[in-house]
Amino acid sequence: MRNKKIVLITASAFLATGLTACSDGKSVSDAASAGSLPTVTIALSNQANQSYLPLILADRMGFFKKQGLNVKIDNLQGTPQVSNALLAGQVQGMIGFFDHNLDLQAKGKDTQAVVQLLQAPGMVEMTRTNEPELKSPADLENKTVGVTSLGSASSNIGSYLAVHNNIPLSKTHLVAVAAGATFVAAFQHNRIDAGVTTEPTISTMLAKHLGTIVADMRTAAGTKAALGGPYPGTALTVQTSWANSHKETVQKMVNGIYTALQWIVSHSAAQITAEVPADFYSGSGKAQYTQALANEMGMYNPTGQMPTDAPQTVLRVLTAIDPAIKGHKIDLSKTYTDEYVQHAAQEAASS
């Protein structure tokens, strides 16, 4: 279906590691056409979000099938539904912010991030342009701030930006406005004073002159300035018990996403957009979608590994805003592993 062929690991390496060998001697593509590949389901919400592109491209460009794996993407309504589906065993993986792993551990659930898609949140906080006195997060005391959904990563970021700027949580008013058209409408109708969102909603807001960026977390440097340290964004998370009994499958999932990350950081925003479903940019337009992607290319994580000191920053942020975390002992070493992505990188280097 795609005319671009990118090979992460040589066929001999596949056979040596036992990742894709077919017992009847058929090639991976033959097995795929026969429908004989094992299938896993990965859940997310708002799949058109550019934060999820490594997963979308790994699927569309055949990187998972080259690993001997079929992946079904389940686009659910919101973050709670995604987490619930993972914990119920309805899906094998979820794409969401790394910080969910800490929250889940505090609630007695064992999950781990196995590949980090983003090294930055890819978010901004914006204020309404018709409220020019709102020039920074410190100006948002007793103001209404829109987020994707309550309990989401954007909600966590919105709360911490307030606390980090000496605004008590009791004087922070978050409301769920989703993303895209509903976020834009909330600004147009003055229902919110500010909001935390992602691309391509950011670029739509700027093009319509509805919002002004007051905190930019689309790069690692901007994130450190806004939050006081590195804060990784989306990751592939699995239940730890499932990973321990399905290591080969997890490795295939990570290999596919690692290949996509390597492809993304070596191609232009226009080349990447050419591989994206057209309905992903039907609202904003292809040119604006491409520009939005160019504006946040720095959020993608070329190594897939956890950035240094990032888990500690996430713990600091959540301890300040999340009652489920505060007072609980969190074992950060159990919330993520670089084992699989390091193996993927080693195989790529030897191919």
Judge if 249 and 342 occupy the same domain.
yes
> Domain of 66: which CATH number?
3.40.190.10
Q: Of 162, 187, 217, at which residue does a domain stop?
A: 217
Determine the angle formed by the axes of helices 79-87 and 99-106, rounding to 10 degrees.
60
Q: Does 287 fall in a domain?
A: yes
Give pLDDT tens digits for 175-226: 999 988 999 999 999 999 999 999 889 998 999 999 999 999 999 999 999 9
Residue 14 has pLDDT above 60, yes or no: no
9-16: average pLDDT: 33
Percentage of the chain with pLDDT > 70? 90
Judge if 24 and 87 occupy the same domain.
yes
Q: Of 162, 184, 217, at which residue does a domain stop?
A: 217
* Verdict on whether the full-model pTM lies above 0.75: yes
E strands along the chain, which residues? 39-45, 70-76, 93-97, 111-116, 123-128, 144-147, 173-176, 194-198, 211-217, 234-239
Q: Does 228 fall in a domain?
A: no
Q: Does 222 fall in a domain?
A: no
Total number of domains in the chain: 2
Judge if 163 and 69 occupy the same domain.
no
pLDDT band with cut points at 50, 70 and 90 for residue 327: confident
**In the prediction, which pLDDT does 35 show?**
59
Judge if 343 and 267 occupy the same domain.
yes
Nearest in space to 245 (alpha carbons), one of 100, 101, 92: 92
Q: Does 125 fall in a domain?
A: no
**Which domain, by its residues, includes 300?**
11-120+233-350
Give pLDDT tens digits for 258-298: 999 999 999 999 999 999 999 999 878 899 999 999 999 99
Judge if 179 and 43 occupy the same domain.
no
Judge if 283 and 194 occupy the same domain.
no
Q: Of 217, 249, 270, at which residue does a domain stop?
A: 217
